[in-house]
Amino acid sequence: MEVMMKLLLVSIFVIISHGALAGDITGKVSRLLTNDAGLHWVYITGTVSNKPACSLYSGFAIKDENSAYGKAQFSMLLTAFATGKDVKITGANICTRNGAQEDISKIELFAQ
């Protein structure tokens, strides 16, 4: 029973710390990019806080631009870029899409 409790506590710690280490930034979309491999990424004005070690650049990548959530993320970023509204991007603490930019976990678009 004691081993199970320790395993549960370690699991909870890992889950909680995963989000705590993710990068985040709030600002205006300064640059949207896409390439012939289908990669979509974004740069925001300001400085990224809590960047993971895998993130070599200040931009963020859409993990799967063909998924419903990836299309929604790109749509929100286009809207923010076109209107000049601020966004907050929270990273996923992993760089799976291109190995050098953190995947986007969440985008918030502000009304202002």
Comparing CA positions, the residue from 95, 18, 87 lying closest to residue 63 is: 95
Kindly report the pTM of this predicted structure: 0.79
Domain 22-109 classified CATH 2.40.50.110?
yes
Cβ pair 61, 104 in contact under 8 A? yes
Summarised one tens digit per residue, pLDDT across range 21-61 is 799 999 999 999 999 999 999 999 999 999 999 999 999 99
CA atoms within 13 A on the CB side of 2: 0
Return the beta strands (E) in the chain as ranges.
24-34, 40-44, 60-61, 86-91, 102-109
